[in-house]
Amino acid sequence: MLKPNPSAHYIVGVDIGGTNIVVGLVDREGKIVARSRRPALALDGPPATLGMVKEGIREVLDQAGVSINQVAGIGMGVPGLHRSAEGICLFSPNFSGWTNVDVVGPIRDEFGVATYMLNDVKTATLGEHRFGAGRGYEHMVMITLGTGIGGGVISDGQLRLGSSEGFSEVGHMVIEVEGPLCTCGNRGCWEALAGRDAIIRRMILALATGRQSSLAEAIGYDQGRITPALIAEHAGRGDAVASEVWAETMTYVGVGVVNLVTLYNPQVFVIGGGIAQAGRILFEPVQRVVNARAHMVPASSVRIVPAALGDDAAVVGGACLVLAHME
């Protein structure tokens, strides 16, 4: 295996998402100096997606006028389950044909520099811990709220992976024993209660009762236009139906946070992802649930804060992955 170049000033971070691939050229202070975005081509097979990664890397190098010899290494955040030390993606649910795929080898061979990978949320956790909202803390939990719910845990200053890299698959802890069926096959998972589709489904069922709602009027009664962001917006405006749906959702989010606070005893709890962009209307009710329910590990022992790096967390985290190997 190639080793990182300790004298190089730049690192390439890659965030492979279900829709887009974002590549960043990152300096050692965590600043992105060049950025590229390309479609992930998730349904076209691994060679197509990895081809987009290669194009994105070439583009950021060209943008910055940097040669590959000035790059310490490449770090990638990849959704799914992995044997990351071998560079293998065992399975990625939103990517066609991604079973036992060598992700690292083609990128490393193309550019001739040390290349590493981790699960995308765990990579984002590295980024937030080193350069974002978790900076300066030895004990941190991060979750991302979006289509699914992902998690990462820093304990004693180290990212925890587990024996099969399944540590902190928090979206699939059971919150409600007889709850809705989850995509993983279980029932009542946190993700099935507080992920994007669950929130939208809850709103559709509420509107089906025929109650008046400003949200229904805004979408022209086209249910396909409902998003968590729209529900949060109308809840914030005082719409009764949206407010009830949002309040129920935030109770589920808060209960999950309480479980993780009790389990991992973090100093800081970082919440990111698209749904977290709702801001105050999310963080305030979640904090209330934590204040009311966190007793064995008291709520006062943890700060609940928004992610600081936003959509850049996994890109910066990819750079942190390389730095970690250097150190």
User: pLDDT 10s digit of each residue in the chain, 327 long?
Assistant: 789 999 999 999 999 988 899 999 999 999 999 999 999 999 999 999 999 999 999 999 999 999 999 999 999 999 988 999 999 999 987 789 999 999 999 999 999 999 999 999 999 999 999 999 999 999 999 999 988 899 999 999 999 998 888 888 899 999 999 999 998 889 999 999 999 999 999 999 999 999 999 999 999 889 999 999 999 999 999 999 999 999 999 999 999 999 999 999 999 999 999 899 999 999 999 999 999 999 999 999 999 999 999 889 999 999 999 999 998
One domain, residues 54 and 92 = yes
Q: In what order do the strands lie in the sheet with 88-91?
A: 81-83, 88-91, 99-102
One domain, residues 300 and 248 = yes
Residue 78: alpha-carbon gap to chain centroid: 10
Residue 61 in any domain: the answer is: yes
Q: Which of 257, 245, 270 is nearest to 190 (CA)?
A: 257
One domain, residues 303 and 317 = no
Say how far apart CA 89 and CA 313 lie, in whole Å: 21
One domain, residues 190 and 295 = yes
Say how far apart CA 19 and CA 42 lie, in whole Å: 7
**Other Cβ atoms within 10 Å of 257 Cβ, number:** 25
Q: Which of 142, 240, 144, 145 is nearest to 197 (CA)?
A: 145
Q: For residue 93, what are the domain limits?
A: 10-129+312-326
Residue 62 in any domain: the answer is: yes
Residue 4 in any domain: the answer is: no
One domain, residues 110 and 140 = no
Number of domains in the chain: 2
pTM above 0.85, yes or no: yes
- List the CATH number of the domain containing 16: 3.30.420.40
Structure tokens at 246: 């949002």
Residue 300 in any domain: the answer is: yes
